[in-house]
Amino acid sequence: MKKILSVMLMLSICLSFAACGGKEQSADVEDQPSAPAEAQETETYLLPKSYWDYAGSTLEEAAESFRKLGSDYYTDAKVTDEGVQLELTEQQRDKLIERNDEYSSQIAEEFMSYSEEYRFEPDESYQNVNLYFDEKLPPTTNIKAVFMLTAGYGMNYILKNNTTEWSVRFTIYNCHTGKPVVSASIPDEEATCGPEEWKASYQE
């Protein structure tokens, strides 16, 4: 399941820019750094190996996903021992963050479509993913929402703060009682959300 979701994450980076005007580079130039628009000043960002380990992607796959975006979204992307190093202008960084926000909204809307009682609380700090639903949500949708939202928030936190130290706490709440069902800090902690956890969230 996680491998399938990691592929979806890579595809979301590579292929979902049509609405935003992104275009893939041709095969003969995709391995070359994009020419910076109007020679704007760039800053170095490192998406650390810990992030891509959580995302289930190799560093080479991750770097390639950025190379396919074009100059609107990156100036240079390369693999280092520590992770994927990006050279971004401020505008490119902001476009990546905006794109991740848009995709997070799509993921949230998908899971909220199951019930009017389901909801997602956005967090501008990109440190918390709070989801409200119940045990009737299909497990695959549950896992997809948690994984894709925490991955998107993790990348945005790194880009916004230009840091390699990152974590995202996700908390699933019972949408009927408002009580937490499970909570964990990604990428260091794991959590189980099963029948016992749901049962406890209904108790007084």
Please give the structure tokens belonging to residue 187: 């990428």
Any domain includes 155: yes
Any domain includes 30: no
pLDDT of 42: 95
Any domain includes 152: yes
Residue 120, beta-bridge partner list: 131
Confidence of residue 204 (pLDDT cuts 50, 70, 90): confident
Instruction: Summarize the confidence of residues 169-193 as an average pLDDT.
Output: 94
Task: With both helix axes pointing from N to C terminus, report the angle between 59-67 and 2-15 in degrees, rounded to the nearest 10.
Answer: 20
| Spatial strand order in the sheet of 180-186 | 119-121, 128-133, 168-174, 180-186
Q: How many structural domains are present in the chain?
A: 1
Any domain includes 98: yes
The pTM of this model reads: 0.82
Any domain includes 187: yes
Whether the link from the prior residue into 187 is cis, omega within 30° of 0, is yes
Residue pLDDT, tens place only, 136-149: 999 999 999 999 99
Contact between residue 130 and residue 120 where contact means Cβ atoms under 8 Å apart: yes
Any domain includes 36: no
Helix H or strand E segment including 118 = none
At position 62, the amino acid (one-letter code) is A
Residue 40: CB atoms within 10 A of its CB come to 12
Any domain includes 157: yes
Any domain includes 3: no
What is the residue range of 101's domain? Answer: 94-200
pLDDT of 71: 87
